[in-house]
Structure 1
Amino acid sequence: MSNLADKLQSPHVKTLTPYQSARRLFSGGQDWLNANESPFANDYSVDASRFNRYPDCQPKTVIQSYAQYAGVEPEQLLVSRGADEGIELLIRGFCEAGKDNILICPPTYGMYAISAETFNVGVEKAPLKADFSLDMDAIESQVGKVKLVFICSPNNPTGTQVDAESIHQTLALFKDKALVVVDEAYIEFAEGENWANKLADYDNLVVLRTLSKAFGLAGLRCGFTLASPEIIEVLLKVIAPYPLAEPVAQIAAQALSAQGLATIKQQVGELNGLKTELRAALSSRAEFEVLGDTQANFVLVRTEHKQGLMDALVEQGILVRDQSKQLYLDNCLRISVGDKAQNARLLAAIDAFFKQETA
């Protein structure tokens, strides 16, 4: 076979490993509890009369609707193909390949590092403390060394929300030196404050949002970057000409309507109730140690039987996420909250596995 691709690819790409998304790891399953998706699929209508035209780069109906929802001005908002594209745009717009670095706080969402490495941008780390809080001394040591600081709050995979004072301190530390990116993909499930209403206070604050989680639109690929108009203008220089397909824009606008938001609020309330029940059920089983907090739509557990249990669940079409390679998370599984029937099947399968183990 030809080795042309290997010969021509960029040197830094040769060492990259693709992000192992839920769909890359498993192609089939009955209960998808490994990608923090909503178990609810809502109905939307689509008008095909505009499909012969290129879509708007930043559809006004989507921008205005989300700006009103988030409490920001339209010029403080950019819509993209998921929050993942927002991460990439920030790195492309503010980091020079082979020269600049970003800062991450593991254990955390893997795409910050993957996106940086894809663009040949360095990755510095300020690991969380054992209680999953920010290590402010480690973060301060990176001042002047990085262009972007990524803070996931609520954090994936720990379900913890970063305390406000730590984020205030981080923003102050990196004033005039770096952008502080607060990823709020799970904010609808959280009890604490959000950071969208702090944009006027910090010109180096960026907030990431998505319709993939609480809105149940992971298949739509629609996310938002919230920042100062000046930062948004930079991102518009590096975004694709038509980032949002016309059907995506139509459905996003419907999801952000008054009726759509009412539906999402009801479903988030239901999921938070199911999350409380699932966490309690897992806590009551001696084989599990429940870690982290409940500010997202998943539960993080540790068990010495991690691999055997996961294999047994996969055999039954119940898919959960192995987090064992992350810092502090040896033998840990992250379990997305499903609907009542999915959670019941999960717990029954867990009980059957441990009954067999002890037989």
Structure 2
Amino acid sequence: MSDIVSTLINDNLVALQPYESARRLFAGGQDWLNANESPYANEYSVDSSRFNRYPSCQPAEVVNAYAQYAGVSNNELIVTRGADEGIELLIRTFCTPGQDNILICPPTYGMYAISAQTCNVGVKHAPLNADFSLDVASICATGEVNLVFICAPNNPTGTTVDADDLDRIVRHFSDTALVVVDEAYIEFDKQNSWADKLADYPNLVILRTLSKAFALAGLRCGFTLANAPVIAALMKVIAPYPLAEPVAQIAAQALNAEGKAKIELQVDFINRQKQWLKNTIAALPGFDITGDTRANFVLFRYAQSPALMAYLVEHGMLIRDQSKQLNLQHCLRVTVGNEAQNQRLIALIKAFVQTTGASA
């Protein structure tokens, strides 16, 4: 680090480790089954006649379409650059740097903690139980926090959240904190959405995205759903032009009737392929399915996970090593790909086991 950087960098960033994505860790790959992306790449069109103008801060066609899709009012929604910007906006809006804290429930999505740390906001932990359910008592016993982040379905465990547990938590923090339920994978677990409960819980916030089921990870389009006063506060700190014009146009097309019908069919295919992957991996000697499969990935534990991961990378198959996460030693997470990718993954795993004799 240069002298000028060492002198000027924020103290809270010196020890910060950035989010580790395969795009940063690996130069290339033939099959990317590491980031929970959709295997589909749908076609869209854009009108370039408006590219010379700054875009709308909150494009009406996107706000209206997603509000209808999620079953909320227009003033209960804000469009962001991916759900990640929603996380950062919540922290910047409702936490004072150097004073306030958020609460996370590891193992969970890494950006909650990283976003807090970049803003010099403290991070408290209430680890999940051994079965990856919420430790409600520990969460409620945590000292003062302004935001509670709960991923449901949870990444990387694929587990859902018990409705009674979440009710207890939201009510416990009714006067002290916002409870943020990250529903990035909710299209794969639709019956457990909390988007229709905003009227019952003034401190409830929902995060959504088009990155997963809608197959638009490259678009960076997310949504924060909350009661109107929360949305109004977020609007104070959001950038003036958060959503690029091409992004708004494509998002609106994805959310029309034809787009939503297509996504339902694709989610159905992914769920069927997910079940096949789960069953096939579970049948392999020494492999244990870990957590649940309520999202678009399968998490499994294998004693020789480092060697298997290296073998897959060598053969251009990239999945995600979750071994650094709490209670996920020797765990690997694989995104459900297309049929050919899924079959190639299994073939490579079987070849590794056969070649090395590493069944346990």
- Fold shared by both chains (TM-score > 0.5): yes
SS in 1 for 2:148: strand
| Aligned partner of residue 212 in structure 2, secondary structure | coil
Deviating more after overlay: 6-15 vs 259-268:
6-15
User: In the alignment, is the contact (CA less than 8 A) between 1:189 and 1:272 conserved in 2?
Assistant: yes
Alignment of 1:3-82 (within 5 A): 3-82=3-82
String of CA shifts for 1:313-359, please: whole Å, max 9, x gaps. Answer: 00111001000011110000000000100001000000110101129
Aligned to 1:272: 271
Return the alpha-carbon distance in structure 1 between the equivalents of residues 23 and 38 of structure 2: 15
Aligned partners of 2:180 and 2:128: how far apart in 1?
16
Q: 1:5 Cα shift?
A: 1.2
Deviates most, 117-126 or 3-12:
3-12
1:214 and 1:264 in contact (8 A); partners too:
yes
- After superposition, give the CA deviation of every residue in 1:297-318 in whole Å (9 maximum; x if it has no partner): 0000000110110000001110
Letter in 2 for 1:84: D
Deviation at 1:157, TM superposition (A): 0.3
| Aligned equivalents of 2:316, 2:307: Cα separation in 1 | 14
Please give the secondary structure, in 1, of the residue aligned with 2:235. helix
Give distance in 2, aligned partners of 1:271 and 1:93.
Answer: 36
- Secondary structure class of the residue paired with 2:234: helix
Alignment of structure 1 residues 279-358 onto 2, 5 Å:
279-358=278-357
Partner of 1:131: 131
Q: Which amino acid aligns with 2:139?
A: I
Kindly indicate whether the alpha-carbon contact (under 8 Å) linking 1:191 and 1:295 is maintained by their aligned counterparts in 2: no
For residues 113-152 of structure 1, the aligned pairs below 5 Å read: 113-142=113-142, 145-152=144-151
Residues 157-306 of structure 1: matches in 2 within 5 Å? 157-190=156-189, 192-306=191-305
Counterpart AA for 2:151: C
Structure 1 runs, 4 residues or longer, greater than 4 Å off:
none
CA distance in 1, matches of 2:221, 2:137: 35
SS in 2 for 1:249: helix
Equivalent-residue separation in structure 1 for 2:331 and 2:192 (angstroms): 28
- Aligned length, in residue pairs: 358
Matched residues in 1 for 2:113 and 2:2: separation?
31
**Partner letter of residue 41 of structure 1?**
A
Q: TM-score normalized by structure 2? A: 0.98
Aligned to 1:89: 89
User: Can you give the 5+ residue segments of structure 1 that lack an aligned partner in the other structure?
Assistant: none
Q: Distance in 1 between matches of 2:268 and 2:7?
A: 53
Q: Tell me how far apart the structure 2 counterparts of residues 2 and 137 of structure 1 sit (CA, whole Å).
A: 46
Distance, in Å, in 2 between the alignment partners of 1:86 and 1:125 is 20
Give the match's secondary structure for 2:149. strand
Q: CA deviation at 1:287?
A: 2.1
* Residues 277/78 of structure 1: CA separation in 2 closer, same or farther (3 Å cut): same
Q: 1:202: Cα distance to partner?
A: 0.5
Q: Distance in 1 between matches of 2:43 and 2:27?
A: 24
Amino acid at match of 1:163: D
How far apart are the structure 1 equivalents of 2:237 and 2:2?
33
Aligned-pair CA distance for 1:142: 1.5
State the shift of 1:118 in Å: 0.4
Matches of 1:49 and 1:95, distance apart in 2: 40
Maintained 8 Å contact 1:279/1:290: yes
Name the CA distance, whole Å, in 2 between partners of 1:232 and 1:312: 47
Amino acid paired to 1:278: L
Letter in 1 for 2:327: Y
User: Does 2:92 align with 1:102?
Assistant: no
CA contact (8 A) 1:38 1:338 kept: yes
CA contact (8 A) 1:161 1:192 kept: no
